[in-house]
C-alpha cells in the first residue's frame, strides 16, 4: 500500500499534476489525473467512472456504471480499454492532455488507450455527464456540437437513454453496439447491433459479417417486425426514429429520470431491454429480441413466410410453391419459394396484396417519402425490376413508398400488427381480385392493377 502511494507521489511530483482529490467531481482537467481506486461521479449522481474488474477476473478496465444502484449491483454500461485489459494498474493514470484527449498512460508515459480528436481547444476537460456520456470538451463550452469526443459515439454493449444509435452521414460515424465476449469479459464479442441505412434503414443484429436477426424497416410507428405492445410511448420511456439527409438514428428517453432502463446486446446476440425495479433491487427483463424462431434471419428463404404457431413454421406465401420441394420437405427451407405462375412483364400482370406481414429485407430497396400508395403502384408497375411495393409510413394513413427489387426475403406473419405489401404477380393469380383494369397506352401492355384496397379481400398464407 505504502509503496503504491510513494510511486503515486513520485509520479505526481514528476508530472507536476496532482492526483484528483477525494471530494466528488465530475471533471478531469489537465491539472489532475485519476488512478485505480479514484472515481468521478456525474453531477446528478447517476453515473460513476473508474477502474473495475469483471466478475471472476483480476484484470482492470476503465468503465462507467450506475452510481445509484452500486450498493446492489455494479452494472457496467461502458468500457474504455476493452481491447487492452490491465494486469497491473499500480502506475497507470487516466488524464487529459492537450489538445483535448483523455488517455490511459503507464509509468513510461505510453498510451494504453485514448480518445481521439481532429480538433483542439484551449482548456480541455473530460466530463462525465449525468446521461452517462463521457465527453471531451472545452471547459467553457457546453455546446454538444463542439464536443471533441463523446463515449455515446463509441458505445460498448449498452444503449443508454438519449444516445443516438445509427449513422451520421456528415461525419460518417456509425454508432453501434458491440457485445461483450462473455458475461465476464468485455473484449469485443461476435454480435453487433446496427441501424443499417443500406437501401432503407433497418435494425439489424449481425453475427460477424452475417445478419442474424432483423427488426425490419421503421414504419412510422415501430420497426416492422417489432413485438405488438411497442408504441412510441410506454409508461417508462419514449422512443423515436429519425431519418433525414444528415443522420439516421434510433433513440429513447426516460419519462421520469428516477426510473432506469437500458438496452443491452448480450454476448449471445439478444437485445434486451432491462428496467430497474426498486422493490426487488434488481434489473427486470422488459423485452428480449429475437422473439422466437421466426426472427431467425431468412429462415424460410425467398418468398417463404414464417408463422410461429404453425408446424413446421415455414410455408410459402400464397400462390408460391417451394423451389425445391424435396429439400423443403426435409426442413431445408433456405432455398425458398417461387411463383406458381412465373411472371412475364410483357404479359398481363399486376400486384397482389399480402397483409399482416413483417416487411422483407430492405437492403436493396428504394423509397420515396412523399408519394401516395397509388403513386407507388404506378411507379412500381412501370418498372419490371420492381418486385413489390408498400407504404413507407403507416403512422397516419399511408404515406410514402418502399420499392423492392429482386427476391423478397425474411418475411414473417405478424397477425394483428403486420403490414400490407403488394407483390408483382401474373394476372391469372390476381384475376379474381381485380378491381379495375388499365391499358397502359405508352407500352402497349395490358396491366391488371390493384384497385381500392378496402374492397379487396386480404390474401392468406397457405402452407404447402
Ligand atoms: C458480479 O456479480 C455479482 C453477483 O452476481 C454482482 O452483484 C456484481 O455487480 C457483478 N460485478 C460485475 C462487475 O459485473
Ligand atoms: C506492478 O508494477 C509496479 C511498477 O510498475 C511493480 O513495482 C509491481 O511489482 C507490479 N506488481 C505486480 C503484482 O506485478
Ligand atoms: C507524456 O506524453 C504526453 C503526450 O503524449 C506529453 O505531452 C507529456 O509531456 C509526457 N509526459 C512526460 C512526463 O513525459
Ligand atoms: C477515432 O477513432 C475511431 C476508431 O477508434 C475512428 O473510427 C474515428 O474515425 C477516429 N476519429 C477521429 C476524429 O480521428
Ligand atoms: C418519478 O418517480 C419517482 C419514484 O417513483 C416519484 O417519486 C416521482 O414523483 C416521479 N416524478 C414524476 C415527475 O412523475
Ligand atoms: C442484402 O442482403 C442479402 C441477404 O443477406 C445479401 O445477400 C446482399 O448482399 C445484401 N445486399 C446489400 C446491398 O447489402
Ligand atoms: C418522390 O416522389 C415525388 C412525387 O412523385 C417526387 O416529386 C420526388 O422527387 C420523389 N422523391 C425522391 C427522393 O425520389
Ligand atoms: C427500376 O427499378 C430499379 C430497381 O428498383 C432501379 O434501379 C431502376 O433505376 C429503375 N428504373 C427506372 C427507369 O426507374
Q: Is 385 in the pocket of ligand 8 (CB under 6 A)?
A: yes
Q: Tell me if the domain spanning 343-449 has CATH number 3.50.4.
A: yes
Q: Ligand 2 pocket by C-beta < 6 Å: which residues?
A: 88, 90-91, 107
Average pLDDT of 111-117? 96
Q: Which ligand is nearest to the CA of 56?
A: 1
Q: Ligand 5 pocket by C-beta < 6 Å: which residues?
A: 256, 258
**Residues of each domain in the chain carrying CATH 2.90.10.10:** 1-154
Entry pTM? 0.87
Measure 130 CA to ligand 5 centroid, in angstroms: 17
Whether the per-residue pLDDT at 452 is higher than 70: the answer is: no
Measure 73 CA to ligand 1 centroid, in angstroms: 6
Q: Which residue owns the Cα nearest ligand 3 atom 1? A: 109
Measure 2 CA to ligand 3 centroid, in angstroms: 26
Could you give the count of Cα atoms lying within 13 Å of 82 in the half-sphere of its Cβ? Answer: 22
High-pLDDT (> 90) share of the chain, %: 76
Read off the pLDDT of residues 418-447 as tens digits, 9 standing for 90 and up: 899 999 999 888 865 444 444 332 222 234
Q: Which helix (H) or strand (E) holds 329?
A: helix 325-329
CA pair distance 124, 120, nearest whole angstrom: 8
The three cell numbers locating residue 241:
426514429
Whether the per-residue pLDDT at 20 is higher than 70: the answer is: no
pLDDT of residue 126: 97
Q: Which ligand is nearest to the CA of 245?
A: 7
High-pLDDT (> 70) share of the chain, %: 86
Q: Which residue owns the Cα nearest ligand 7 atom 14? A: 368
Burial code of 254-283, b = ≥16 C-beta within 10 A, e = fewer? beeeeebbbbbbbbebbbebbbbeeeeeeb
Secondary structure (DSSP) of 1-53 = -HHHHHHHHHHHHHHT-PBPPSS--SEEETT-EE-TT-EEE-TTSSEEEEEE-
Ligand 7 atom, smallest distance to 379 CA = 5
**Residues of each domain in the chain carrying CATH 3.50.4:** 343-449
pLDDT of residue 258: 84
* CATH no., domain 1-154: 2.90.10.10
Ligand 5 atom, smallest distance to 257 CA = 1
Torsion sign, CA atoms 159, 418, 216, 410:
positive
Is the separation of the CB atoms in 305 and 291 below 8 Å? no
Residue 322's DSSP bridge partners are 337
With vertex at residue 167, the alpha carbon angle to CA 166 and CA 172, rounded to the nearest 5 degrees, is: 155
Amino acid at each position: 500500500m505504502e509503496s503504491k502511494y510513494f510511486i503515486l507521489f513520485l509520479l505526481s511530483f514528476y508530472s507536476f499534476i496532482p492526483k484528483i482529490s477525494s471530494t466528488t467531481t465530475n471533471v478531469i482537467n489537465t491539472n489532475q489525473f485519476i488512478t485505480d481506486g479514484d472515481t468521478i461521479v456525474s453531477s446528478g449522481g447517476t453515473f460513476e467512472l473508474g477502474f473495475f474488474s469483471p466478475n471472476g477476473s483480476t484484470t482492470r478496465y476503465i468503465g462507467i456504471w450506475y452510481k445509484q444502484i452500486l450498493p446492489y449491483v455494479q452494472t457496467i454500461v461502458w468500457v474504455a480499454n476493452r481491447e487492452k485489459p490491465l494486469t497491473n494498474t499500480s502506475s497507470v493514470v487516466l488524464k487529459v492532455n492537450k489538445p483535448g484527449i483523455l488517455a490511459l498512460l503507464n509509468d513510461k508515459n505510453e498510451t494504453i488507450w485514448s480518445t481521439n480528436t481532429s480538433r483542439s481547444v484551449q482548456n480541455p476537460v473530460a466530463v462525465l455527464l449525468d446521461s452517462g456520456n463521457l465527453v471531451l470538451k472545452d471547459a467553457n463550452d457546453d455546446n454538444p456540437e463542439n464536443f471533441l469526443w463523446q463515449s455515446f459515439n463509441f458505445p460498448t454493449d449498452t444503449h443508454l437513454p438519449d444516445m443516438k444509435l445509427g449513422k451520421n452521414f456528415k461525419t460518417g460515424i456509425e454508432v453501434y453496439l458491440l457485445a461483450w465476449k462473455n458475461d465476464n469479459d468485455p473484449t469485443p464479442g461476435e454480435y453487433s447491433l446496427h441501424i443499417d441505412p443500406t437501401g432503407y434503414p433497418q435494425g439489424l443484429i449481425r453475427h460477424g459479417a452475417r445478419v442474424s436477426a432483423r427488426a425490419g424497416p421503421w414504419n412510422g410507428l415501430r420497426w416492422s417486425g417489432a413485438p405488438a405492445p411497442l408504441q412510441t410511448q410506454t409508461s417508462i420511456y419514449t422512443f423515436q426514429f429519425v431519418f433525414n439527409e444528415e443522420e439516421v438514428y434510433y433513440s429513447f428517453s426516460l419519462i421520469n429520470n428516477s426510473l432506469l432502463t437500458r438496452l443491452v446486446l448480450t454476448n449471445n446476440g439478444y437485445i434486451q431491454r432491462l428496467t430497474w425495479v426498486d422493490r426487488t433491487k434488481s434489473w427486470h427483463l422488459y423485452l428480449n429480441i429475437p422473439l422466437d424462431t421466426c426472427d431467425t434471419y431468412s429462415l424460410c428463404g425467398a418468398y417463404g413466410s414464417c408463422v410461429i404457431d404453425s408446424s413446421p413454421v415455414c410455408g410459402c406465401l400464397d400462390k408460391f410453391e417451394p423451389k425445391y420441394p424435396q429439400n423443403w420437405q426435409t426442413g431445408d427451407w433456405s432455398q425458398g419459394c417461387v411463383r406458381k405462375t412465373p411472371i412475364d412483364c410483357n404479359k398481363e400482370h399486376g400486384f397482389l396484396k399480402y397483409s399482416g406481414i413483417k416487411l422483407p429485407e430492405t437492403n436493396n430497396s428504394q423509397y420515396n417519402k412523399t408519394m401516395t400508395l397509388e403513386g407507388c403502384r404506378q411507379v412500381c408497375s412501370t418498372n419490371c425490376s420492381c418486385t413489390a411495393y408498400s407504404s413507407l409510413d403507416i403512422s397516419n394513413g399511408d404515406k410514402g413508398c418502399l420499392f423492392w427489387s429482386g427476391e423478397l426475403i425474411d418475411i414473417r406473419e405478424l397477425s394483428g400488427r403486420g403490414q400490407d405489401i403488394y407483390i408483382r404477380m401474373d394476372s391469372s393469380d390476381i384475376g379474381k381480385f381485380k378491381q379495375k383494369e388499365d391499358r397502359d397506352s405508352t407500352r402497349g401492355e395490358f396491366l391488371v392493377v390493384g384497385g381500392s384496397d378496402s374492397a379487396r379481400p386480404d390474401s392468406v398464407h397457405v402452407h404447402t
